[in-house]
Amino acid sequence: MVFTLLMLPFFCALTHAQNEMAFTDEFNGDALSAARWDVFRGRPAVRDGKLTLAANANNRADIQTKGARMFLYGVMTATIDSSSWMRNGQTTDTSFGFEVFNPGDCHYGVVLVANGNLGLLRAEPDGAGRCVGDPKFQEYQPIPNWDALRARRKLFVTLVWAQTGAILSVSNGEIVSEVRSKLNSDAIPNVPMRVRLNADFNETYTIESVRAARCEPVSADEFDGNQLDPAKWELVNGGAVVSGGKLTLNGGTTGASVRTRGKFPPGGLAISIESTNWKPVTQTSGSSFGFELSDGKCCYVVVLTGNGNLGMLRSDPRSGACSGDPEFQEYRAIPDWDAIRANGKVFLLLDWSASRVVARVAGGDMGVVREVASLSDTQAVSRLAMPVRFNVGAGETVVFDYVRYARRMTPLALVSAASFDPTMLSAESIATVFGSELAADARGAGALPLPTTLAGSTIKVKDSAGVERLAPIFFMGPGQANLLTSPGLAEGDAAMSVTNQDGGVSFGSVEITRAAPGLFSANASGQGVAAAQALRVKPGGAQAYEPVARFDQSLNRFVSIPIDLDPEGDAIFLILYGTGIRFRSALAAATAKIGDMPVEVLYAGEVQGLAGLDQVNLRLPRTLKGKGEVDVALTVDGKTANIVGISVK
């Protein structure tokens, strides 16, 4: 099995449902679910856990989520297989993503286009009652290595649509490509969209699964009303006027400043800024917009300055005040700042992560977009939570249309720690999650009982019944965590979140089933020689355990040790170790084959005293003698585990 890690940072917080998957379809059964999907054209077919959309020369095929299944910003994952993709550079209407299409009204989309682009689209009525013609806004960003990606036909897709922009990650199991939109999502209206799957003329593709979740900003202010919201903001100095959906700060002779009452960990900050009296690039500006913590003891700053720089600053106390020469200071000039601010309006996305800061800035007409990243790790400044602060220098006036903050979130890849199967887990099983910035350092649990906080990070699992539990943790590191799924998880879709020491959140989802069998392999990959033992029982009852694998230094891998079934009077048993097996419905529901031969399952259940570890005992018949290298296949409650191997002498 090839397992793909999608390390895709984005800024999106799930709604009040708190990490609950809003929509999922694994296409089980023999027909498309009429309760989940509307069919517009074509005849979609469901078979063997796959949806097939087949268009012919005369008709397209397309479906979209039904009823209230709409998403105002969201994340979508899909597994797609096609042999008829359009080539790079060819025109196609085949797409997968978020889309709303109402003829005569509007057409908005954030999609993967099958000729290898991330597409953002806004088209409005052409005056003839049709939502066609030249769109008012259209952006296509090519997916790197598209031809190489689609060469293997099957693609794993993650599409993120947030207020701060769109990000697309595509993998074929060997390589991963990522592309993000240049502009934030204000280029298209903030309207709910459906998950929509389109097949253009003569194209056919299959989809194994679709999952989508809604998301929204953690904190936002559109400056409605007639005054600065005192629950959100503190006026530090100067005057602030709220009118017509805008906040105006007039620097006057001494400057003006406001800051949020709340503090925010590393995340994404989107701001719409207007000014008719920007300071020239060569002049010092007292204006800055971003994150700033200044309390007389310290001063940490991550901002866009009014004269066009990404600024990072750390200043420690001097004579009890946070002033004087800073201990750390870095400024990175925004390219083409004069062109960006030419019409007075600037859109800013400030991406503050645990490793660096990126400022993406666009002019008011979206014609010029530039990006600059810090050279230094943000530890040079701080990874503390900071207020959002707007400073306007003396003689400057700045108007803000909105400010939106979202915690930095990254999708998790969740798998069985034994099989590396990403499709299912069971309660009280050992799981592995892969992500980024999960923890500051790597730590293992010292002993039982397992902790629920490790290296400052926690893991929560919310099941289909809406019950959220802390998960016990075996190991926590920056890119990987091993955990015990919580006891008592309800079957169905479950959501998992990892919160690190800085408040950053990663999330993922998985299906919880009664049994999700996985077998450990000697090399801990879920493939190759089994992590197992042979048990030899002599006629007098004496027992001896024998290894079935060893590490070959010359080959640099584990190889099998042949199991000797002689002498004839000895009883030989194979003891396999795995997880996700203990809640099988009955022992008879566990079956096994070695090679093509069914073998007796004597035990399939938990290993006492070892959290999450299960054991399967198989009787080895003498008819296996001389078989050599053979596969071991285990099925529990109709679910098939990963294949591992042994050798029989």
Average pLDDT, whole number, for the chain? 83
Inform me whether the pLDDT recorded for 555 exceeds 50: yes
CATH fold, domain 10-214, is: Jelly Rolls (2.60.120)
Structure confidence by residue, pLDDT tens digits, 320-358: 555 555 678 899 999 988 888 887 888 888 888 767 888
Measured in residues, the chain has a length of 649
612 — pLDDT class (breaks 50, 70, 90): very high
Q: Do domains 219-407 and 412-512 have the same CATH topology?
A: no
Domain residues of the chain, as ranges? 10-214, 219-407, 412-512, 518-648
Q: How confident is the model at residue 169 (pLDDT cuts 50, 70, 90)?
A: confident
Taking the CA atoms of residue 361, residue 363, residue 368 and residue 371 in that order, the dihedral angle to the nearest 10 degrees is -10
CA atoms of 165 and 624, how far apart (whole Å): 59
Q: Express each pLDDT in 510-547 by its tens digit.
A: 889 999 999 999 999 999 999 999 999 999 999 999 99
Write the pLDDT tens digit of every residue in 284-309.
678 899 998 876 667 888 999 888 88
Binning pLDDT at 50, 70 and 90, where does residue 6 land? very low
Query: pLDDT (tens digit, 9 = 90+) per residue, 211-258?
Result: 777 665 567 788 988 999 999 999 999 999 999 989 999 999 999 999
Split at pLDDT 50, 70, 90, the class of 581 is very high
Give the confidence band of 164 by pLDDT, cuts at 50, 70, 90.
low
Would the pLDDT of 184 be above 90?
A: no
pLDDT-above-70 percentage for the chain: 84
pLDDT at 8: 31
Is it the case that residue 46 has pLDDT exceeding 80?
yes
At 590, the pLDDT band (50, 70, 90 cuts) reads very high
**Would you state the CATH architecture of domain 219-407?**
Sandwich (2.60)
Q: At 259, is the pLDDT very low, low, confident or very high (cuts 50, 70, 90)?
A: very high
- The distance of Cα 427 from the centroid of its chain, to the nearest Å, equals 22
DSSP codes joined into one string, 115-127: TTEEEEEEE---S
Task: Provide the pLDDT for residue 117.
Answer: 87
Fold observed for domain 412-512: Coagulation Factor XIII; Chain A, domain 1 (2.70.50)
Reported as type and span, the H/E element at residue 149 is: helix 146-150
**pLDDT exceeds 50 at position 19:** no
Strands, E assignment, 261-412: 267-274, 288-294, 299-305, 309-315, 328-333, 345-352, 357-363, 369-373, 388-392, 397-411
| Spatial distance between the Cα atoms of 288 and 304, rounded to a whole number of angstroms | 6
Predicted pLDDT at 135: 59
Across 489-511, average pLDDT: 81
pLDDT at 222: 83
For the chain, give the percent of residues with pLDDT over 90: 37
Query: How does pLDDT run across 88-98, given as a tens digit for each residue?
Result: 555 677 888 88
Q: Give residue 85's pLDDT.
A: 66
The Cα 330–Cα 334 span in angstroms is: 13
Q: pLDDT higher for 365 or 168?
A: 168
Amino acid letter, residue 106: C
Which of helix, strand or coil describes residue 451? coil
